[in-house]
Amino acid sequence: MFTTRRLSETFGMAIEGVDLSRPLADDEFRAVEQAFFDGQILAIKGQSLEPGAFVDFARRFGPPQPHVIDQFHYPDHPDILILSNGKENGRPIGLADGGSYFHTDYSYLAVPARVTILYSVAVPKQGGNTLFANMYAAYDDLPEATRERIDDLVVLHHYGNRDDLDETSRTAASPLSEAQKGKVDWVRHKLVRTHPGTGRKALYAVSGSSFEVEGMPKDEGVQLLDDLKAHALQDRYIYSYAYEKGDVVLWDDLATLHSATLTDPNDLRTLWRITVIEEA
């Protein structure tokens, strides 16, 4: 059986001794899933995976949803999005910026993400960490009056970043084509969501795709979201994960925010990403 250890004093778990290149027995998977629930971030160390085995593991958590940026899907495996700053013949081989601002994956979809899973293929000599923010703790630490005020609020989400509406300022690969824009629309999600696996409440997607609070004047709603974001991104809630080659890293999209960090374009960083959505 595998061993576990904490990544930090507050959240995050690591597992050693699991081989994801073969199907996990049901009891093994339940133990992995429990470590995921307990840690919010789970790093499974020392893997060597083919695309098919990676997809098979992800499917144990639910249905994968291919990313709207389809030009960087892995050939013959559209559930895998290639994240990379590498180029071949002058053309990008993957999405160079997977979101270098705090956000929640697929919060712009009506059926949002349950878990995002990355497989580390090439690690840069310096940098390339992912930053995570603990949304359980951020919610728990709010004053009781604030929790009561926000518990039943609904937020309008759309693909994009509330703090950066100018597409020309973004990484070249990030803006959507006209065809891709047609695949996303406004959706509604509760500001505070109760996790079905743990029963705990968490702030949901207060940074990134959240643009308005339903029933509030727009400026008042944005101010509330900005205040909650500032609270949630205090240093005490943040953990920075440094990848090693062969890591499989999962994070709970219901209980975290995360942010990529950009690396030197000449220092290769490549990851495969699968995002599993909630059951509709």
Domains of the chain, by residue range, sit at: 3-277
- What's residue 233's pLDDT? 98
Residue 184: the pLDDT is: 64
User: Which pTM does this prediction carry?
Assistant: 0.92
| Tokens of residue 37, six digits | 């629930």
Supply the CATH classification number for the domain 3-277.
3.60.130.10
d(CA 128, CA 165) in angstroms, rounded, equals 25
The H-or-E segment that residue 210 falls in is strand 210-213
CA 258 to chain centre: 6
pLDDT tens-digit series, residues 216-234:
999 999 999 999 999 999 9
State the Cα–Cα distance between residues 161 and 277, nearest whole angstrom: 20
Give the model's pLDDT for residue 249: 99
Q: Which amino acid is at 194?
A: T
233-260 tens-digit pLDDT: 999 999 999 999 999 999 999 999 999 9
Question: Which pLDDT score, from 0 to 100, does residue 172 have?
Answer: 39
**What pLDDT sits at residue 182?**
62
Residue 279: what pLDDT? 84
What is the structure's pLDDT at 171? 43
User: Which stretches of the chain drop beneath a pLDDT of 50?
Assistant: 166, 168-173
Contacts 24+ apart (CB under 8 A), 195-198: 195/252, 195/254, 195/255, 197/33, 197/37, 198/37, 198/255
Residues with Cβ within 8 Å of 83's Cβ and at least 6 positions away in sequence, in order, are: 72, 94, 95, 96, 98, 118, 260, 269, 270, 271, 272, 273
Q: State residue 159's pLDDT score.
A: 86
* Per-residue model confidence (pLDDT) at position 185: 77
pLDDT at 54: 99
Give the span between the Cα atoms of 141 and 3, in whole angstroms: 31
Contact 5, 14 (CB under 8 A): yes
Task: State the Cα–Cα distance between residues 144 and 228, nearest whole angstrom.
Answer: 14
Tell me the helix, strand and coil percentages in the chain, rounded to 5.
25, 30, 45
